[in-house]
């Protein structure tokens, strides 16, 4: 089955063999008494959490425990993350033998303390450590608390004669917690504390890739040269196809050709592929090009589509209320652009444009030839669809050439174009919407006159009557250069077959509609 709301592990886990090999080597070294630190960089939803949890499932043992946390588990990010760190680490060592989670009990301090006193292994711990653990649920979070929380993995590892892996996602967010209230730089405190640990390996990750990379590679950072880097990118084609094909229910298998088409459009981003798989298998098979159009319309080219809403949130986080940043994103969404071209489109000096691009952070990539482009081509596609005139984007992506030509003509008249869902058993190829009024469009790539079977024609007439729509026939002539002729169905000759001739051509569609 496809999973879009939870990390993917075990049998549903795909690809990442090289990254897993490197991380398992870190565990091997830790168990041999050598600690190392790794920074895992990757875009949001690219599979970092799944990778960390898969590593935990494979390598969590009695003498090697894992504590996995995410700075975004609490919003807004605050110093309370250090309380969560301490609780998560404590659970890693004792929850299994206790049969309960101390983190879950932390909201009930008395119940937490009662449970903690039942942990036999902690009777070996120094008295001051036991006292600190008892105070953990409601202790004031200051610099001294943070320092003890950072020391805790090593202390508990010593008590249990074990090893510990601390995996901290969105670690770069800790930088914003430093300040006078916390007594200064918490990153420097973490470095100074962690480098004394010989039983703990640290694995940090983050989606703010530039920020995290600078955090571990900049000479001005406390963590300079302390971490090795692993970049987590999209999956390869073979693993992407395996994800779509193997996760589908047995009676709703996605055809290989359709899976290849989806991968060519969505790339190897596992979250996008999971969403696609979940959406298409919600339809009744068989799956063909018509269903593919439905799925992309539902998922990406709709204001209520799950991927569309995800991109809308991403857009708001990147741009905020800065209209200049929004304009810069729009200028970059159609492909690689020179700086001067972007500046010209947004009407800003090149110096200011450089600043806008830098503020867009990891959303933008600079190519070797000096041109700029959006890092995520699917996000770029969504932005193209949102631009004025972007209504033709779905037809350019999943449509046939004839549909695209018709869409261009109608978009120039001010119509918005969508595909009619095959799930509704609609008779039309496209729906053109203007001023809230839909117009059914039947597209035919052929020379005039057009001929329809009586059943096909009656279905269009019945559909239009049932929905209260008008409809037109759009004939796309196959000869070069091709042209689009819009035809009035009322002028058709109905006999044993239905014939629509060139005299049915509509001179002014807007007047005809009104």
* pLDDT at 102 (0 to 100): 96
pLDDT attached to residue 215: 86
Say which CATH number the domain at 470 has: 3.40.1350.10
**pLDDT tens profile 421-470:** 655 556 888 999 998 889 999 999 988 999 999 999 999 999 999 989 99
Least confident of 129-143, 212-226, 292-306: 212-226
- Are β-strands 364-366 and 228-232 bridged in parallel, bridged antiparallel, or unpaired? unpaired
- Quick one: 479 and 353 in the same domain? no
Q: In this prediction, what percent of the chain has a pLDDT beyond 90?
A: 66
Average pLDDT along the chain? 90
For residue 208, what are the CA distances in angstroms to 40, 172, 358, 418, 508? Answer: 11, 7, 13, 35, 52
Range of the domain at 378: 307-386
Q: Domain containing 26 — which CATH number?
A: 3.40.50.300
Confidence of residue 258 (pLDDT cuts 50, 70, 90): very high
- Return the bridge partners of 487, or none: 473, 505
Alpha carbons 201 and 217: distance in angstroms, whole number = 18
3-state SS assignment for residue 238: helix
Contact criterion met (CB below 8 Å) for 472 and 488: yes
Cα 351 to chain centroid distance, Å, stands at 31
pLDDT at position 461 = 94
Kindly state whether residues 198 and 287 are assigned to the same domain: no
Of the candidates 491, 493, 494, 456, the residue with the CA atom closest to the CA atom of residue 506: 491
6 confidence band (pLDDT: 50, 70, 90): low
- Does the pLDDT value for residue 377 go beyond 60? yes
Are 217 and 270 members of one domain? Answer: no
Q: Tell me if 166 sits within 8 A of 55, measured CB to CB.
A: no
Q: Identify any residues that bridge with 204 across adjacent strands, giving them in sequence order.
A: 39, 168
Are 51 and 154 in a shared domain? Answer: yes
Identify the band that residue 218 occupies on the pLDDT scale cut at 50, 70 and 90.
confident
In terms of Cβ atoms closer than 10 Å to its own Cβ (0-12, 13-18, 19+), residue 488 is middle
> Per residue in 217-255, is it b (16+ CB within 10 Å) or e — as a string?
eeeebbbeebbeebebebbeeebbbebbeebbeeeebbe
Tokens coding 16: 């990442």
Q: What is the DSSP letter of 176?
A: G
Residue with tokens 């030509």: 405
* Whether residues 24 and 138 fall in one domain: yes
pTM above 0.75, yes or no: yes
Instruction: Check whether residue 31 and residue 154 sit in a common domain.
Output: yes
Q: Are residues 311 and 295 in the same domain?
A: no
Domain boundary residue among 232, 249, 268? 232
What are the pLDDT digits (tens) for 15-31?
688 888 899 999 999 99
Determine the distance from the C-alpha atom of residue 149 to the mean position of all C-alpha atoms in its chain, rounded to a whole number.
Answer: 32
- Cβ count within 10 A of residue 44: 17
Position 7 in a domain: no
Q: What are 182-191's pLDDT values in tens digits?
A: 778 899 999 9
480 pLDDT higher than 70: no
3-state DSSP call for residue 354? helix
Give pLDDT tens digits for 45-79.
888 888 888 888 888 877 899 999 999 988 888 99
Compute the distance between CA of residue 307 and CA of residue 381 in angstroms, rounded to an integer. Answer: 12
List the beta strands (DSSP E) in 207-363: 228-232
In a domain, residue 398? The reply is: no
What total number of domains does the chain contain? 4
* Measured distance CA(364)–CA(382) in Å, rounded: 15
Query: Does 173 lie in the same domain as 94?
Result: yes
Q: How confident is the model at residue 224 (pLDDT cuts 50, 70, 90)?
A: confident
Q: Is the pLDDT of residue 350 over 70?
A: yes
Tens of pLDDT, residues 91-128: 999 999 999 999 999 999 999 999 999 999 999 999 99
With cut-offs at 50, 70 and 90, classify the pLDDT of residue 14.
low
């Amino acid at each position: 089955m496809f999973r879009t709301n939870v990390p993917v592990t075990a049998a549903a886990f795909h690809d990442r063999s090289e990254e897993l090999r490197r991380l398992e080597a870190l565990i091997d070294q830790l168990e041999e008494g050598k600690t190392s630190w790794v920074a895992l960089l990757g875009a949001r939803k690219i599979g970092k959490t799944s990778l960390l949890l898969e590593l935990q499932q494979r390598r969590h043992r009695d003498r090697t425990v894992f504590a996995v946390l995410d700075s975004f588990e609490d919003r807004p990010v605050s110093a309370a993350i250090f309380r969560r760190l301490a609780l998560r680490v404590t659970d890693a060592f004792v929850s299994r033998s206790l049969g309960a989670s101390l983190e879950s009990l932390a909201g009930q301090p008395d119940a937490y303390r009662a449970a903690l006193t039942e942990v036999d292994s902690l009777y070996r711990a120094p008295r001051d450590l036991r006292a600190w653990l008892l105070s953990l649920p409601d202790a004031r979070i200051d610099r001294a608390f943070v320092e003890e929380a950072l020391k805790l993995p090593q202390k508990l590892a010593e008590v249990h004669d074990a090893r510990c892996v601390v995996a901290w996602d969105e670690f770069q967010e800790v930088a914003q917690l430093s300040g006078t209230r916390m007594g200064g730089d918490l990153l420097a405190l973490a470095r100074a504390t962690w480098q004394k640990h010989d039983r703990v390996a640290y694995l940090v990750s983050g989606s703010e890739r530039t920020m995290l990379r600078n955090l571990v590679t900049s000479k001005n950072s406390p963590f300079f040269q302390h971490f090795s880097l692993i970049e987590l990118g999209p999956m390869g084609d073979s693993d992407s196809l395996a994800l779509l094909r193997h996760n589908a229910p047995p009676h709703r298998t996605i055809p290989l050709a359709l899976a290849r088409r989806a991968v060519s459009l969505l790339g190897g981003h596992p979250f996008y592929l999971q969403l696609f798989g979940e959406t298409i298998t919600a339809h009744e098979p068989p799956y063909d090009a018509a269903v593919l159009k439905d799925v992309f319309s539902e998922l990406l080219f709709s204001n209520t589509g799950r991927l569309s809403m995800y991109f809308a949130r991403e857009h708001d986080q990147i741009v905020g209320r800065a209209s200049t940043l929004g304009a810069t994103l729009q200028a970059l969404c159609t492909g690689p652009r020179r700086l001067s071209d972007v500046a010209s489109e947004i009407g800003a000096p090149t110096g200011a444009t450089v600043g806008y691009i830098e503020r867009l952070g990891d959303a933008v990539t600079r190519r070797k030839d000096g041109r700029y482009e959006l890092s995520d081509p699917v996000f770029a596609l969504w932005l193209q669809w949102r631009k004025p005139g972007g209504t033709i984007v779905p037809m350019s992506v999943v449509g046939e050439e004839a549909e695209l030509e018709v869409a261009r003509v109608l978009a120039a008249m001010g119509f918005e174009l969508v595909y009619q869902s095959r799930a509704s058993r609609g008779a039309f190829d496209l729906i053109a919407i203007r001023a809230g009024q839909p117009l059914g469009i039947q597209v035919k790539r052929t020379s005039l006159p057009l001929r329809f079977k009586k059943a096909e024609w009656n279905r269009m007439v019945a559909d239009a009557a049932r929905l209260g729509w008008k409809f037109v026939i759009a004939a796309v002539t196959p000869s070069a250069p091709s042209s689009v002729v819009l035809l009035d169905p009322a002028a058709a000759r109905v006999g044993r077959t239905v014939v629509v001739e060139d005299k049915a051509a509509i001179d002014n569609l807007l007047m005809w509609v009104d």
